[in-house]
């Protein structure tokens, strides 16, 4: 049976490339549907209009994609990570054919992509106006009908829209990687090489060493912690939700014990999903 896989579109985005990789690794059988925002992808999955959805969650230069994190933390309907895909990112400066470098007076792109190319923009186009777009591909589509405006996007977008490449490899650092996650109504069964993401905050805000005690539950069981960060709780200033990635599946006995112990101390505790760790050239579903 054909399944629907939504992604942060339109065609030509890095999210589309990640969706194609995920669909192939999952064995195919997907209809890919581009949607205009990360929020729209999450809503389509939560409302049953798409079976799964692919969105960016983290970049090696700019860090977390906060829109994705907030949707996972605060989703009204259950939304879980069931897969991850890591994609090398090359940014190009694109414009409609015939545009010269010196013609460019404005640069348009998705804000995260602009942030990844700050040094290039400052060095080559210090006086250029910066315009935000809903996605990198949408930026290319828009500039194809405008003079003096260039877009930051992928080579795939350049080919899709017939744009001219003014510069390539313009990201501030190389390699530049973005981690994408596939969200669905349930996470993945154990594979033996898994990652679990969770979000939590404590019932007693002013009690010292609570975070250390929580992390010790992982350390004492030799569970590897691969990431920790925080996001505002959105309830009041100075309160935060911690986001943690650990190796292992939530059903593995040692990790299940650690999670149960931590949950007892929390006012908010949410497992965002257990899923196969991405391996270049490997297969996940």
| 98 and 83 in a common domain | no
| 157 and 210 in a common domain | no
> Which residue has better confidence, 265 or 204?
265
247 domain-assigned: yes
283 domain-assigned: no
Q: Tell me: the pLDDT tens digits for 69-101?
A: 999 999 888 899 999 999 999 999 999 999 999
Query: Among 131, 151, 184, where does a domain finish?
Result: 184
| 149 and 97 in a common domain | yes
DSSP state of 192: S
11 domain-assigned: yes
Q: Tell me: the pLDDT tens digits for 156-171?
A: 999 999 999 999 999 9
34 domain-assigned: yes
- Cα separation of 1 and 3, whole Å? 6
Query: Among 134, 168, 202, where does a domain finish?
Result: 168
Please count the structural domains in the chain.
3
Q: Tell me: the pLDDT tens digits for 248-260?
A: 999 999 999 999 9
| 66 and 9 in a common domain | yes
pLDDT at site 222 = 97
| 97 and 73 in a common domain | no
Average confidence (pLDDT) over 43-52: 96
pLDDT at site 239 = 87
| 255 and 232 in a common domain | yes
285 domain-assigned: no
pLDDT at site 280 = 67
Residue 205 has pLDDT above 80, yes or no: no
| 218 and 164 in a common domain | no
284 domain-assigned: no
Q: Which of 167, 62, 190 lies closest to 114 in space, CA to CA?
A: 62
132 domain-assigned: yes
**Domain assignment of residue 74, given as a range:** 3-87+178-184
| 78 and 23 in a common domain | yes
pLDDT at site 285 = 45
pLDDT at site 207 = 77
Label residue 176 by pLDDT band (50, 70, 90). Answer: very high
Q: Which of 273, 274, 228 lies closest to 73 in space, CA to CA?
A: 273
Q: Which residues are catalytic?
A: 178, 180
**CATH number, domain with residue 262:** 3.30.70.260
Residue 61 has pLDDT above 60, yes or no: yes
**CATH number, domain with residue 151:** 3.40.190.10
Whether the model clears a pTM of 0.85, i.e. scores above it, the answer is yes
Average confidence (pLDDT) over 209-226: 95
Tokens in use for 257?
């014990």
Query: Among 184, 216, 247, where does a domain finish?
Result: 184
Contact 7, 54 (CB under 8 A): yes
| 272 and 199 in a common domain | yes
Label residue 246 by pLDDT band (50, 70, 90). Answer: very high
| 111 and 50 in a common domain | no
Q: Which residues contact 236 (CB under 8 A, 6 or more apart)?
A: none
Q: Tell me: the pLDDT tens digits for 121-139?
A: 999 999 999 999 999 999 9
159 domain-assigned: yes
Residue 31 has pLDDT above 80, yes or no: yes
DSSP calls for 49-116: SSSEEEEEEEETTTEE-HHHHHHHHH-SS--EEEEEEEEE---EEEESTT--GGG--EEEE-HHHHHT
Average confidence (pLDDT) over 46-54: 97
| 243 and 270 in a common domain | yes
């Amino acid at each position: 049976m054909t399944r629907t896989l939504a992604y942060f579109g339109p065609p030509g985005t890095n999210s589309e490339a990640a969706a194609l990789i995920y669909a192939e690794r999952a064995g195919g059988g997907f209809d890919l549907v581009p949607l205009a925002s990360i929020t729209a992808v999450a809503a389509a999955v939560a409302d049953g209009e798409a079976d799964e959805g692919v969105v960016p969650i983290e970049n090696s230069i700019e860090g977390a994609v906060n829109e994705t994190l907030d949707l996972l933390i605060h989703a009204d309907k259950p939304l879980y990570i069931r897969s991850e895909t890591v994609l090398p990112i090359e940014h190009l400066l694109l414009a409609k054919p015939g545009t010269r470098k010196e013609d460019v007076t404005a640069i348009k792109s998705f804000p995260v992509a602009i942030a990844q190319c700050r040094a290039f923009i400052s060095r080559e186009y210090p006086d250029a106006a910066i315009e935000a777009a809903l996605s990198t591909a949408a930026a290319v589509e828009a500039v194809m009908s405008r003079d003096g405006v260039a877009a930051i996007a992928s080579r795939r977008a350049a080919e899709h829209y017939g744009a001219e490449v003014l510069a390539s490899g313009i990201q501030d650092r190389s390699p530049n990687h973005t981690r994408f996650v596939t969200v669905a109504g349930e996470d993945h069964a154990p594979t033996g090489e898994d990652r679990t993401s969770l979000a939590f905050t404590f019932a007693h805000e002013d009690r010292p060493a609570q975070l250390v005690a929580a992390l010790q539950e992982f350390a004492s069981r030799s569970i590897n912690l691969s990431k920790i960060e925080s996001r505002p709780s959105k309830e009041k200033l100075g309160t935060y939700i911690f986001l943690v990635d650990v190796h292992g599946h939530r059903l593995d006995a040692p990790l299940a014990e650690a999670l149960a112990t931590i949950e007892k101390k929390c006012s908010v505790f949410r497992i965002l999903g257990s899923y196969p760790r991405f391996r270049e050239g490997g297969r996940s579903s």
